[in-house]
Each structure stands twice: as structure tokens, then as C-alpha cells.
Amino acid sequence: MRLDGKVAIVTGAGSGIGKASVDLFRSEGATVVGADLKGADVECDAGDEAQVKALVDRTVAEHGRLDIMFANAGVSGGFDGIFDQDAAAWAEILRINLIGPFLAIKYAAPAMKASGGGSILATASVAGLRAGAGGPAYSASKAGSSIS
């Protein structure tokens, strides 16, 4: 199995791509900590710095290392036009979709370095590349996170 002996964290693991990734990584031999607000191994808000740090710290303490961080958590925010959204809605989408991957990198990278390296993945979207593929806030968040 390709991931034997590897330890992974997947955010947004309660459904969709995250849940499928947890299943795939486990089928390939990895020990996986799935994290989400609900429906996963560990409850974690991927856009909250203290919770992401605690997630990485707990994973390393319980499993001895971290080899893979998949920053997958995200929200769409809908397709409301720019004039129909308020700053609070934008801030929440950016907090999860843009700050979330930053936090994953910030806390996972040192843990991986300490154990000899690893891989960091983040879910991208065509909405970060072209207009009309997502709502304005979602597109802005995905464009920003593609350069993390």
C-alpha cells in the first residue's frame, strides 16, 4: 500500500471530497485523522487558529508524526452577487477558504519538517481562475488560496 506508515490529517472530512479522501488514504494504509465541524473523527473549525494548532499537536502526540496535511475544508457561500452580500458573509468565506489553508500550512509544515518531510495539499477550484464559476467571495477565496 502506498501510504503504509504515513499519518494524515484531512480537513472538511465530514462529507464530499474530504470524506472520500479519508476513505482512500485509509485504503492505501495511512492513519488518518479526519476533521470537520461534524461527521468526522475530530471536531475542528479549519479557519480557527487555536483549533488547527490543537489538531496538529494532538495528531503528532497520538501518532508520533505528521506526513500529509490535506486542507480541504471549504464553504461556497452561494451565488449571491457582490451587491447582495455583506462584509460579514465575505469574511466568513475568506476565514474558512483562505485563512484555513494558511493555518494548515503554518502548523503542519513544522511538524512535517521535524519528522523528515511530508506533503501539503489544498483543494482548489476553477472559480479561482475565471469569473462566473462561483460566487464572488468564493472565487476571491479560491484565487487567494491557490497561491498559498
Q: Which residue among 6, 19, 21, 138 is the active-site one?
A: 138
Residue 142 catalytic? yes
What count of Cα atoms within 13 Å lies in the side-chain half-sphere of residue 3? 21
Residue 138 catalytic? yes
In sequence order, which ranges of the chain are alpha helices (DSSP H)?
A: 16-27, 49-63, 87-94, 100-114, 136-145
Q: Which residue among 125, 139, 141, 145 is the active-site one?
A: 125
Residue 37 contacts residue 10 (beta carbons within 8 Å): no
- List active site positions: 125, 138, 142
